[in-house]
Amino acid sequence: MRKVKPVPPERLPALLRRMPKAELHMHIEGSLEPELMFALAARNGLTVPYADVATLRRAYVFNNLQEFLDIYHAGTLVLRTEQDFYDMAWAYLQRVAADQVLHTEIFFDTQTHTGHGLSADVVINGLHRACTDAQAQLGLSASLILCFLRHLSEVEAFEALEQALPLRDKLVGVGLASSELGHPPEKFARVFARARSLGFRLVAHAGEEGPPAYLWSALDVLKVERIDHGVQALRDPALVARLVHDQIPLTVCPLSNLKLKVFPTLARHKLGRMLDAGLVATVNSDDPAYFGGYLNENFTQTFAALGLTAQHAYQLAHNSFAASFIDASSMRVFQDRLTEVFETFA
């Protein structure tokens, strides 16, 4: 990795905000801000079961992943039309364009929404139109990854995959999200095998709350190319060696880990140790409307808490492009822009 010039700690937040970067782990339903949630509810003749925006925000206190998922699911009930999905994604895309995000890979699921009586097309078409407009109007590259919900059955995941196939061209890959404990990756071995045979890129959440064994099976059974979270990997030295050897990227989400009590404080987060171990870590926001910050907040707060440096910043941003599913020529363009910012930053 290129050596970059040192930057004094007080100048680091400005560099972090200015540096070009990719986001590889965010759930679009987790970007639904309370203000937009109330607006969509009103537009659809629905009510949010909280008095107002401030009361809703005060409910965003979680002790674990499941407590979050319950509130997050309630929030998705206001999404009813293609325009709702467009508006939610467009708000996120505009927001992260301001964070110097050049490329984003957006997680979404259809199972939540088909469970509410919507068709998968409504979800995918609305999100995809926002991604197309982001490229045209913001110069921001955006692609979509369909996540299966792991608390549901393998049969239901197969149904979600089949429903998405007519819109195959609007998706880059598939992933695995929702309640991790008790739902190991191998539950979805056959769905991932089918997605792989169809040419989808493969990722899965593993090692957020779950054990290192879930990373092993995500790699060896699902054959994923990236692991989402993966912060439990350091508990298993053989696993770390494998991840380093195969240069498997880990999409780490520090503020998510803090809010879901994976780590008690940001100062106890393992991001620095992961980088020191040679792991291909990246920084991501996961569910920014719920966890207190978009991508740049994740960078600035984590760097302040862990005392990370400009060299770490360059490494993380470089990793974010290298770990993405963009074509090789775009990747080089983005990484060159990154290098230029570091060389000219004063």
Q: List the catalytic residue out of 29, 159, 180, 208.
A: 208
Q: How many residues bind Zn ion (CB under 5 A)?
A: 1
Determine, following the binding rule CB under 5 A, whether residue 105 of this chain makes contact with Zn ion.
Answer: no
Tokens encoding 167: 């819109």
Q: ∠ CA 283-288-290 to the nearest 5 degrees?
A: 130
Rounded Cα gap, residues 154 and 223, in angstroms: 17
Determine, following the binding rule CB under 5 A, whether residue 29 of this chain makes contact with Zn ion.
Answer: no
Residue 105's binding partner, choosing from Zn ion, ligand ADE, none, with beta-carbon cut-off 5 to 8 A by kind? none
Least Cβ distance, residue 208 to ligand ADE (angstroms): 5
Query: Which residues on adjacent β-strands are paired with residue 317?
Result: none
How remote is the C-alpha of 77 from its chain's centroid?
A: 21
Residue 208's binding partner, choosing from ligand ADE, Zn ion, none, with beta-carbon cut-off 5 to 8 A by kind? ligand ADE
Least Cβ distance, residue 52 to ligand ADE (angstroms): 24
What are the φ/ψ torsions at residue 81 (nearest 5 degrees)? -125, 165
- For Zn ion, the closer of residues 84 and 286 by Cβ is 286
- For ligand ADE, the closer of residues 30 and 249 by Cβ is 30
Q: ∠ CA 31-34-36 to the nearest 5 degrees?
A: 75
Least Cβ distance, residue 329 to ligand ADE (angstroms): 32
Rounded Cα gap, residues 300 and 312, in angstroms: 12
Tokens encoding 35: 């203000």
10 catalytic per annotation: no
Site track for Zn ion across 278-307, x = CB under 5 A: --------x---------------------
Q: Is 233 helix (H, G, I), strand (E, B) or coil?
A: helix
Least Cβ distance, residue 26 to ligand ADE (angstroms): 9
Residues 6 or more apart from 148 whose CB is under 8 A from it?
Answer: 109, 111, 157, 160, 161, 174, 175, 176, 177, 188, 191
- For Zn ion, the closer of residues 15 and 101 by Cβ is 101
Nearest alpha carbon to residue 142 among 22, 29, 253, 59: 22
Least Cβ distance, residue 126 to Zn ion (angstroms): 20
- For ligand ADE, the closer of residues 172 and 206 by Cβ is 206
Give me the residues that bind ligand ADE (CB under 6 A), please: 27, 30, 65, 177-178, 205, 208, 256, 286-287
Catalytic residues: 208
Residues that bind Zn ion (CB under 5 A): 286
